[in-house]
């Protein structure tokens, strides 16, 4: 494994942990040259359904995009990286269990909102307000009232 800091190929595993659900292996590595530590994740290579956008385009599912969306909604919120990773794992597990070749982006968005609602109500409202493209303040107020209940 190449060091992300200095590109040295001599790195060593200093700690290995299996995720609670057994879905991936987390490894802490240390570079022999610069001695910096970094984390890698080992997951099974599986095929996720293609995402069908509103305009009909089909794009490959990308974990990094899903994580980016969730990280943006959770920015400056008290949610750990491990909690976010677990939420992404649950979403991916649901995608695989659907057993379909394609999934509408709206359905994927609903899965994300469900996980965000469990993690942090503010992040849920942030994501939903952008995702649902609210036209006026009344739609936003309705969502906030729904979350309060």
Distance CA 125, CA 108 (A): 16
Q: Which strands make up the sheet holding 25-31, listed edge to edge?
A: 11-18, 25-31, 37-42
- State the virtual CA torsion across 47, 61, 147, 131 in degrees, nearest 10: -160
Distance CA 75, CA 59 (A): 26
- Residue 47: closest CA among 106, 84, 98, 123: 98
Quick one: tokens of 134?
């609210």
pTM equals 0.65
- Contact assessment for residue 80 and residue 71, using Cβ atoms and an 8 Å cutoff: no
In this predicted model, what pLDDT tens digit does every residue of 56-84 receive, in sequence order?
999 999 999 999 999 999 999 999 989 99
* Residue 24 DSSP code: -
Distance CA 31, CA 4 (A): 9
In this predicted model, what pLDDT tens digit does every residue of 93-103 receive, in sequence order?
999 999 899 99
């Amino acid at each position: 494994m190449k060091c992300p800091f200095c590109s040295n190929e001599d790195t060593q595993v200093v700690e290995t942990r299996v995720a609670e659900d057994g879905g991936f292996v987390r490894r802490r590595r240390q570079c022999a040259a610069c001695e910096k530590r970094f984390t890698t994740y080992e997951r099974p290579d599986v095929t996720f359904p293609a995402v069908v956008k509103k305009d009909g385009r089909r794009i490959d599912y990308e974990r990094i995009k899903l994580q980016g969306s969730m990280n943006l909604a959770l920015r400056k919120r008290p949610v750990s990286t491990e909690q976010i990773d677990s939420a992404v794992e649950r979403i991916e597990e649901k995608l695989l269990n659907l057993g379909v070749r394609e999934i509408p982006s709206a359905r994927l968005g609903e899965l994300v909102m469900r996980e965000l609602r469990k993690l942090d109500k503010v992040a849920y409202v942030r994501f939903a307000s952008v995702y649902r493209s609210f036209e006026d303040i009344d739609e936003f107020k309705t969502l906030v009232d729904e979350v309060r209940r």
